[in-house]
């Protein structure tokens, strides 16, 4: 039972961490100072959500019986671990196949339009997810959702306005936004395809109903795309999957190499 809860919390934690990391790559490279700061704030919001979720995941993991612990991660670091796991162990010492984030989160930043498209599809999902999780019978998850929702609402406002601004902007901005949305679209479906953990947690009353989320998500995404004068994307398009099961694109390895280098080279190092 708690194995699925741990997987579920990790899915959301990994999404937040990897999204936050990707967005943080814009720090110092934004097209204008004010938007550079806006994105950096957003990256830190995601990181804060990831921390809350990893702290919970660490407690769940530490509470497992030894036999279940031994089977849970296949990253070698966990085999010889003598001390309880912390949020840092989960972020810095797991290998890629133990990460459960959706493929959308790890996709490269591309240009501004690609970054906006990725955030737009994701932010529309997290607003609905956190809204639903406020009703979770798991109090800790509900509390994290309540706090995160306010941040997600602002992220969604920001990314939606940019989709409209670029889509309904100049000929060039429209073309770039259109291209980015078409390319990112095949990564959007995975958010709504239930993993084993998603299904188990829904049945238990602790998780969100992804089917219900999907129809609300489509409605709102289509509203914004229409206002942005962009084509609606096909609902039945073929979708990329695998992230929730630990099968990632090549991008994740590069992200982890950069993010985890310091802790792996100098274990326990602090600034």
**Positions in the binding site for other proteins (CB under 8 A):** 32-35, 37-38, 41, 157-158, 161, 165
Both tokens of 109, joined, read 């930043």
User: Which residue lies nearer to other proteins by CB, 1 or 33?
Assistant: 33
Both tokens of 163, joined, read 């989709």
Q: 187, 104 in Cβ contact below 8 A?
A: yes
Q: 186, 240 in Cβ contact below 8 A?
A: yes
CA distance 217 to 127: 9
User: Which residue lies nearer to other proteins by CB, 36 or 88?
Assistant: 36
C-alpha 42, offset from chain centre? 13
Q: Compute the least distance from the CB of residue 108 to other proteins, in Å.
A: 24
Q: Compute the least distance from the CB of residue 188 to other proteins, in Å.
A: 25
Residue 129 three-state SS: helix
Q: Compute the least distance from the CB of residue 37 to other proteins, in Å.
A: 5
User: Which residue lies nearer to other proteins by CB, 32 or 67?
Assistant: 32
Q: Compute the least distance from the CB of residue 164 to other proteins, in Å.
A: 11
User: Which residue lies nearer to other proteins by CB, 97 or 154?
Assistant: 154
CA distance 3 to 62: 11
Q: Compute the least distance from the CB of residue 46 to other proteins, in Å.
A: 15
Q: 255, 22 in Cβ contact below 8 A?
A: yes
Count CB atoms within 10 A of the CB of residue 105.
28
User: Which residue lies nearer to other proteins by CB, 35 or 109?
Assistant: 35
């Amino acid at each position: 039972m708690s194995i699925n809860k741990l997987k579920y919390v990790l899915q959301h934690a990994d999404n937040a961490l990897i999204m936050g990391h990707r967005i943080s790559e814009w720090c110092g490279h934004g097209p204008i100072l004010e938007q550079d700061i806006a994105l950096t704030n957003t990256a830190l919001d995601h990181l804060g959500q990831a921390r809350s979720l990893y702290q919970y995941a660490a407690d769940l993991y530490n509470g497992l019986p030894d036999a279940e612990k031994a089977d849970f991660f296949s990253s070698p670091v966990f085999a010889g671990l003598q001390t309880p796991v912390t949020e840092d162990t989960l972020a810095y010492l797991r290998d890629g196949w133990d990460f459960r984030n959706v493929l959308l989160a790890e996709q490269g930043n591309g240009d501004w339009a690609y970054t906006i498209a990725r955030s737009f599809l994701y932010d529309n999902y997290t607003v609905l997810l956190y809204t639903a999780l406020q009703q979770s019978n798991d109090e800790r998850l509900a509390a994290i959702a309540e706090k995160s929702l306010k941040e997600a609402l602002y992220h969604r406002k920001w990314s939606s306005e940019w989709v409209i601004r670029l889509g309904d902007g100049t000929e060039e901005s429209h073309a770039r936004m259109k291209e980015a949305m078409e390319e990112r679209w095949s990564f959007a479906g995975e958010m709504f395809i239930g993993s084993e953990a998603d299904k188990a947690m829904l049945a238990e009353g602790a998780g969100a109903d992804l089917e219900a989320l999907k129809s609300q998500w489509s409605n709102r995404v289509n509203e914004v795309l229409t206002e942005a004068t962009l084509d609606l994307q096909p609902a039945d398009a073929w979708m990329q999957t695998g992230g929730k099961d630990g099968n990632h694109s090549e991008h994740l390895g590069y992200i982890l190499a950069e993010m985890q280098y310091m802790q792996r080279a100098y274990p326990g190092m602090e600034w």
